[in-house]
């Protein structure tokens, strides 16, 4: 009987160990968990609560109106114009700026000498504060005293309205992203490219595979997951873009650059309609969440 009881005791030990809590990693994670709960999830729950009220900042929460705030902004033409402008600027951003860090990482992977220097140089644009960069570009876009019209005038072009022209303002807002691309994204793509086995590239070169074929059939498929994660982050930032537009145009001219994030700011801080502002914020949260889920499902089906 003794050997059987000892065996059962030994077998029960690992079972109990599976449910043992390791407090050291829990304690390390606890500060970040608290920060996320307070500054992320609590604020989301607060926004839901505020969006259901005609919020009174003096005597909160004000009158309960249910989903009336959502129905109100869905009926306004200003909202649909802002939503249209938001997606147009997002598509322009994809076409003009999203691929730039990938190209920079590809060039970096081919550079042998001074590679570390170039990696540092690619990080410098991300150090510049967004508002300072927007003010600098606003000066360069000035139709009378701006740098761009001055240089274009030297070769007989222009002058152009840039931010004052409804036909050009969206492109003018997106263009700084082309020159300011870089940052951590370049390093992520570079690390993903360098993790691809060198033997695969050598075999492809021996088989006569040129640079474009290696890029399309070897590099991009192997860094596809990194591109997906970066695209989700990029999409969220582009659909919620605010700094550049607020500094450069404040939604003008004639609401040509009015986006949903600016409409949220106007509702809250200009019109003091906090319930409407919270409802707009949650609407964009749901839109971005749906697009993210669709993106991940498409990626899963392809793999």
Output 152 or 158, whichever has higher pLDDT: 152
Over residues 197-223, mean pLDDT: 82
Q: Residue 68: what are its φ and ψ, rounded to 5°? A: -60, -40
- Which pTM was predicted? 0.85
Structural domains of the chain in order of their starting residue, each with its CATH number? 1-51 (no CATH), 70-302 (1.10.3720.10)
Q: How many residues does the chain have?
A: 303
Report how far residue 208's alpha carbon sits from residue 25's, in angstroms, rounded to the nearest whole number.
Answer: 50
The secondary structure of residue 288, as a DSSP letter, is H
* pLDDT computed for residue 246 by the predictor: 94
Over residues 4-12, mean pLDDT: 48
> What mean pLDDT value characterizes the chain?
87
Say whether pLDDT at 9 is over 60: no
63 - beta bridge partners?
Answer: 54
Report how far residue 189's alpha carbon sits from residue 185's, in angstroms, rounded to the nearest whole number.
Answer: 6
* pLDDT computed for residue 210 by the predictor: 78
DSSP string, 109-171: HH--TTHHHHHHHHHHHHHS-HHHHHHHHHHHH-TTT-HHHHHHHHTT-----GGG-TTTHHH
Contact 162, 82 (CB under 8 A): no
Say whether pLDDT at 70 is over 60: yes
* pLDDT computed for residue 135 by the predictor: 93
Closest to 102 (Cα-Cα) out of 243, 229, 289, 213: 229
Each residue of 257-299: pLDDT tens digit?
999 999 999 999 999 999 999 999 999 999 999 999 998 888 7
């Amino acid at each position: 009987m003794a050997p059987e009881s000892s065996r059962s005791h030994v077998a029960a030990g690992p079972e109990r160990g599976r449910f043992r809590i390791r407090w050291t990693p829990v304690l390390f994670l606890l500060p970040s968990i608290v920060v996320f709960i307070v500054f992320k999830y609590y604020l989301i729950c607060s926004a839901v609560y505020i969006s259901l009220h005609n919020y009174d900042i003096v005597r909160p929460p004000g009158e309960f109106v249910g989903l009336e705030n959502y129905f109100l902004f869905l009926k306004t033409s200003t909202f649909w114009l802002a939503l249209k402008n938001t997606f147009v600027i997002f598509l322009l951003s994809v076409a003009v700026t999203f691929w730039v860090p990938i190209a920079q990482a590809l060039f970096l992977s081919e550079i042998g000498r001074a590679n570390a220097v170039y990696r540092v140089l690619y990080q410098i644009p991300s150090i510049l504060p967004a508002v300072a960069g927007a003010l600098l570009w606003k000066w360069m876009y000035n139709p009378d005293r701006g740098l761009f019209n001055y240089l274009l005038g030297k070769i007989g072009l222009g002058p152009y309205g840039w931010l004052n022209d409804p036909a050009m303002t969206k492109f003018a807002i997106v263009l700084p992203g082309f020159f300011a691309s870089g940052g951590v994204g370049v390093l992520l793509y570079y690390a993903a490219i360098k993790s691809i086995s060198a033997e695969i590239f050598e075999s492809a070169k021996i088989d006569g595979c040129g640079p474009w074929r290696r890029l399309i059939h070897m590099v991009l498929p192997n860094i596809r997951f990194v591109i997906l994660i970066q695209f989700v982050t990029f999409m969220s930032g582009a659909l919620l873009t605010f700094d550049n537009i607020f500094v450069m145009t404040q939604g003008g001219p004639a609401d040509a650059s009015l986006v949903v994030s600016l409409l949220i700011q106007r509702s809250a801080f200009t019109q003091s309609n906090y319930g409407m502002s919270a409802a707009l914020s949650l609407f964009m949260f749901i839109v971005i969440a749906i697009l993210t889920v669709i993106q991940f499902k498409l990626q899963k089906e392809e793999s």
